[in-house]
Amino acid sequence: MTARNPPSAATRDQVPRSGALAQQPLIDVGDSWFRRYAVDIPSVRLVCLPHAGGTAGMFHDWYELLAPGIEVLAVQYPGRQDRLGEQPPRSLEELADEIAGRLLPYLDVPVSLFGHSMGASVAYEVARRLEDWYPQALNHLYVSGRSAPGHELAGTAHPVSDDDLADWTVAAGEPGSHLYRDPELRDLLLPSLRGDLTLLDAYKPAEVIRLKAPITAFGGTADPGCTPEDLATWAEVTASGFGLQVFEGNHFYLVPHAAAVTAEISSRSIIHDAPSFQSEAPSLQSPERQHTTTAPPGKELKNDRASMP
């Protein structure tokens, strides 16, 4: 997969406005990267990014649970299900480049991001790019089941053998993990899981940038890989408000608590309370904002936003 710049702003002219959305099918799969659960007149789009080995189907029921006007745009990573034959990205940053660039046609309304586990790291990187490329677009970042960049557990080792990796997935409580017990299905499922874990293990951002958007972190009380203290580290990654919600359960607490999680997201999705994106927010490690993102075509990054290799 080749890293990409965001598409030309002229693409906005091709975007159906909210009045036309009622004519679209309930689930729009026109773009292989997204599953769009179209609503009549959206006020905000919630871009949902799944865990390692996960799929867009993780968020299939959310459109029924969220407040009216919140449209779900669930991300389908390459290398699984209908994208089984596609090559995976070479890095988590490249994955974020691709997703952020492809979001332009959906920015006729503000967007929020929700990422679970690996998806939380991807969502953070997508958020950085949105704030660089389209400064008014991002409304809120929601993260789940993972600590903030720079606070990941060092030396985390994942199982090597197929049997051990399947057992590890089942023990984590992932929905549908019983499918890893089927030898034929396991051969189809394990490559995408291994690929995602490889991206995650290699993800070591050279610099952690404070976002202008507010962040809300969610987690489970019995998640051994992400404690409430781990979730609290996301407060360091925002120059705006921070919220923390913990629910009973393990790493996949959000399945039994989907109604409560979506209710919390709905309550924080009032657009007139969205923060201003005009002021610069300092880096956690430098007075300058140094980004790994690429400037959109025809638009140079500001001088205080030097790109890093």
Q: Which residue has the tokens 């997508």?
A: 126
C-alpha span between 98 and 121 (Å, rounded):
14
Q: pLDDT digit string (tens) for 105-148?
A: 999 999 999 999 999 999 999 999 999 999 999 999 999 999 99
| 72 CB-contact burial (10 Å; exposed 0-12 / middle 13-18 / buried 19+) | buried
* Mean pLDDT, range 261-284, rounded to an integer: 60
How high does pLDDT run on average in the chain? 80
| Ramachandran angles phi, psi of 220, nearest 5° | -110, 145
Q: Which of 218, 215, 213, 214 is nearest to 261 (CA)?
A: 218
**Mean local confidence (pLDDT), 161-190:** 81
Q: Which residue has the higher pLDDT, 11 or 137?
A: 137
- Contact (Cβ atoms closer than 8 angstroms) between residue 130 and residue 103: yes
Query: What global pTM score does this model have?
Result: 0.78
Element (H, E) at 285: none
CA angle 170-172-177, nearest 5°?
Answer: 35
Range with the lowest mean pLDDT among 19-23, 177-181, 205-209, 299-303? 299-303
pLDDT at position 298 is: 37
Q: What pLDDT shows up at residue 142?
A: 98
pLDDT, tens digit (0-9, with 9 covering 90-100), for 204-251: 998 999 999 999 999 999 998 999 999 999 999 999 999 999 999 999
Residue 267 has pLDDT above 90, yes or no: yes
The catalytic residue positions are 117
What integer pLDDT is reported at residue 169 of this predicted model?
81
Q: What type of residue is 176?
A: G
- With CA atoms as reference, report the closest residue to 75 among 85, 64, 83, 87: 83
